[in-house]
Amino acid sequence: MTNKLSADTEAALDLVNRTLTEAETCDHAVSVLNYDLETICPEKAMAEQSNVISYLENQSFKLRKNESFVRAAETLFRHRGELSEFDAVLAETLHRNYLKEKNLSPEKRKQFSDVRNQAFLDWLRAKKTSDFSIFAPSLEKIRDLSLEETALREERLPDTYDNLLDDYERGMTAGELDACFGRCLEVLLPMLEKIKGSRKKIRTDFLRRRVTDEEQRRMTDYLCSVIGLDMTRSAWALTEHPFTDGLWYDDARITTHFHPTAFASSMYSVIHEGGHALFEQLQPEENYTHHIRMNKTMGQHESVSRFYENIIGRSEAFIHLIYPETMEGVSERELYEAVNAVTPSLIRTEADEFTYTLHIIIRYEIEKRIIGGTAAIGELPELWNSLYEKYLGIRPENDREGVLQDVHWASGFGYFPAYALGNFYNAMYYRRMKEDLSVENAVRSGNLGKVNSWMAEHVFFSADREDPKTWIRNITGRSFTAEDFLQYLTEKYGALYGL
């Protein structure tokens, strides 16, 4: 703390801490209910459970909208120079949120929450029946409330989509993404054609071998152990769409799904979600005690999950490490090549590392059109299918493998670019990590503790206290760029396919 707090500032900090502790109790309950909703909740109980979630979310919101709390939070912001580093970040965060929510009443907030919860249920039914028309009315409401919510903000960016993007990735704009994604298309599309024309043929038939649920359960436990996840502070369950929920400091839960003839799908879901959970487990505990643990952007979080999934999990060193635990009759090299094979596919979460960015670009282009008013909701299935044909040369045969495959739009727009930004960030700090330690040797020997320690010190430590561009510059000494990621892909897949 730079100075002794004045009486007014100390009183304000005490009120803010007490209120946030109470609000976070509601938030914690919401997280538990959401985890249950997406894992083991009976189908007929989902609507009622969604109502309970909506109620608790609104109770938390009301606590943060209380006039005494708002005055105290604004007092902290005005006197943030007196505060410790963690409390100063809290004051800035509360002020930023205040400007977003100042004109949003609890009643309107409850309405928005109800729409999102119903949209999730409609998406589940629509995906199950592969019928976009079931989800379309809710998606129209999601679009409309996104526009309304943005218009209510006390301060907002001129471009509506930039506001939505900023909710997930502070400081990022569509203009910057247009440039990054344009560069990706410039590099990846020609290289994809070269890969398709390569004489190198990768064997992948064994990835379709039947693997029992029990075998996949054992693999899940093993992979959690290998990457260093503390299972006394974590748990896993099965779900339709894998996700991670950091409920609290000692409770970071992950999910996966089992497909009997696609065991690698669960493997990499576990490693991906385990990366998210490691971020939660290895961040400073002060993030929780000072109420800033939600300050991480989605791009920062996805950088970590995709770092463990791809840069670590699909490396030759990692395949060497886990090879005895996988299958017989297949060489290490064959397994390495198979989990890195480039095959344009329809499902984003199953996409290979090379083509994955194209899936994100498709969603980004569609989101901009939805928010910009140049794409009607009813046109989305055809627009989706056309863009898959344009960029990946394949076309979905139904809505389930097309426009309904992701749950994200049931909550709103602006999230998807975070996955690509995560790739850009992690390629940058992977390059920096290799200056400090032999990553390959550490992974090959099963000593991921060295990797995790480096991540805790350089990547996790300050993520909640710095905006993403400052954060990545402080880690790497360089400004944000997509070039490291494109170089990583070009070198790895050029060697793999003999280009």
Q: Which residues are catalytic?
A: 273
Q: Point out which residues pair with 256 in neighbouring strands.
A: 238
Phi and psi at residue 29, to the nearest 5°: -60, -40
Tokens in use for 349? Answer: 């979460």
Tokens in use for 175? Answer: 């203009």
- Per the CB < 8 A criterion, the answer to whether 453 and 272 are in contact is no
- Separation between Cα atoms, residue 195 and residue 358, nearest integer Å: 15
- Residue 253 DSSP SS3: strand
Residue spans of alpha helices (H) in 7-78? 7-37, 46-65, 67-78
- Separation between Cα atoms, residue 474 and residue 463, nearest integer Å: 10
Pick left, alpha or beta for residue 254 (phi over 0 → left; psi -120 to 50 → alpha; otherwise beta). beta
Tokens in use for 307? Answer: 């770092």
- Residue 153 DSSP SS3: coil
Phi and psi at residue 130, to the nearest 5°: 55, 45
Residues 6+ apart with CB under 8 A from 4: none
- Residue 67 DSSP SS3: helix
Residue spans of alpha helices (H) in 153-229? 160-168, 174-196, 213-227
Residue 183 exposed, middle or buried by CB count within 10 Å (0-12, 13-18, 19+)? middle
- Separation between Cα atoms, residue 48 and residue 50, nearest integer Å: 5
* Cα Rg of the chain, angstroms: 23
- Per the CB < 8 A criterion, the answer to whether 77 and 95 are in contact is yes
Residue 288: name the closest of 88, 57, 21 by CA.
Answer: 21
The helix or strand, by DSSP H or E, that contains position 246, with its residue range, turns out to be: strand 244-248
Torsion of CA 455, 458, 459, 463, to 10 degrees: 140
